Structure 1
Amino acid sequence: MLRKGMKLGKKIDEMTIGEKIQLNEKIEDKDLLLYLGLTNDNNPLYIQHDYALDTPYKKPIVPAIMLNGIITSAISKHLPGPGSHIREQNLIYLEPVYHYETIEILLEVQHIDITQNFVEIYVSAFKEKIVQVLHGVLKVVPPY
């Protein structure tokens, strides 16, 4: 049941190839702590500065799956939007993201399959506007 006043996202026949959205997301301590508490993930690489100092990263990094969650949220909220579902994903994490960094995420529709009711959305994310931190493709079922 939809919340009163909530609108479904775009249906497949309302989407176009090349359609895109860009979002900025700053990684805050509260977000990291919520994620780590929810998943019961206590990897020292994510939270312990003294441990991270002895790694090639030199400071705690953001869990890759948390970045995936930000992308999933963008699909659910914006493109195609509420009522959509990720059927398949292939993401490649190129560079670490550190606490307090802001990432710029770009989602772009690259393929529409009306007969099977899915779209392929290319995703890329950058920090500092120039360092690519991830890229990949998601197969998404838009709302019916």
Structure 2
Amino acid sequence: MDQTLDTLENITYDELREGDVATYTRTLTEDELVLFAAVSGDVNPVHLDAAWAADSMFKERIAHGMWSGALISAALATVLPGPGTIYLEQSLAFKRPVKLDDTLTITLTVLKKEPKNRVTMGCDVRNQAGETVVTGEARVIAPKQKMTITKPRLPKITIEQ
């Protein structure tokens, strides 16, 4: 079946093979940074206040670490294994800051298939310069049944300036 940009197709537990790899890419915008702060409640000034962040160790505003974690979740839910995946555990090590307009590529690798449809996934997050920003592992329950779904349409939300 041809998969278009408007559909998501999963990879079932039986189809997964150790060593399988998939990627997911996203760019951090001003709106996404502010919306993540609003949704999470994390209003640390290092994320939101340019003057305050200029005096920090980073010298500029940075993304919330869990924004990268949320992208891993999105990659697991939409790419590998995809729709129907149940997220069980996640370890994360933050290696370098993510800045506004950074484009992150999440690479997921099937490390180990376990009983009861459990799968351990390697998670590697790199910026547009190829620098590692986050590493970790996730454990998921991979879907049993094959499915292709229509990608839900989400509202475009912007912040008033």
- The Cα RMSD (Å) is 1.6
Q: Which amino acid aligns with 1:61?
A: I
Q: How far apart, CA to CA, are the structure 1 residues paired with 2:8 and 2:128?
A: 34
Consecutive aligned runs of 4 or more in structure 1 exceeding 4 Å deviation: 5-8
8 Å Cα contact 2:68-2:134 kept in structure 1: no
- Residue 27 of structure 1 aligns with an amino acid whose one-letter code is L
Residues 7 and 52 from structure 1, CA distance in 2 versus in 1: closer, same or farther, beyond 3 angstroms?
closer
Letter in 2 for 1:142: A
Question: 2:136 & 2:39 partners in 1: Cα distance?
Answer: 25
Counterpart residue number, 1:122: 122
Find the counterpart in structure 2 of residue 63 from structure 1. Answer: 64
- Mapped contact 2:27–2:104 kept (Cα < 8 A): yes
Flag structure 2 segments of 5+ consecutive residues without an equivalent. Answer: 1-5, 145-161
What TM-score do you get using the length of structure 1 for normalisation?
Answer: 0.89
Identity over aligned pairs, percent: 24
Q: TM-score if structure 2 supplies the norm length? A: 0.81
Output one character per residue of 1:30-70: Cα deviation in whole Å (capped at 9) or x when no partner.
Answer: 11122111122211010111001111100011001111011
Asked whether the equivalents of residues 24 and 79 of structure 2 are also in contact (C-alpha less than 8 Å), the reply is: no
Question: What is the alpha-carbon distance in structure 2 between the residues aligned to residue 6 and residue 24 of structure 1?
Answer: 17
Aligned to 1:9: 10
Structure with a larger share of its residues in helix: 1
Asked if 2 retains the 8 angstrom alpha-carbon contact of 1:9 and 1:142, the reply is: no
The alpha-carbon deviation at position 8 of structure 1 amounts to 5.8
Q: Which runs of 5+ in 1 are unaligned?
A: none
Q: Give the deviation of 1:76 after TM superposition.
A: 0.3
Q: Go from structure 1 to structure 2 and tell me whether the alpha carbon gap of 1:102 and 1:8 turns closer, same or farther (over 3 Å shift).
A: closer
Please say if residues 8 and 83 of structure 1, whose CA atoms lie closer than 8 Å, have aligned partners that are also in contact. no
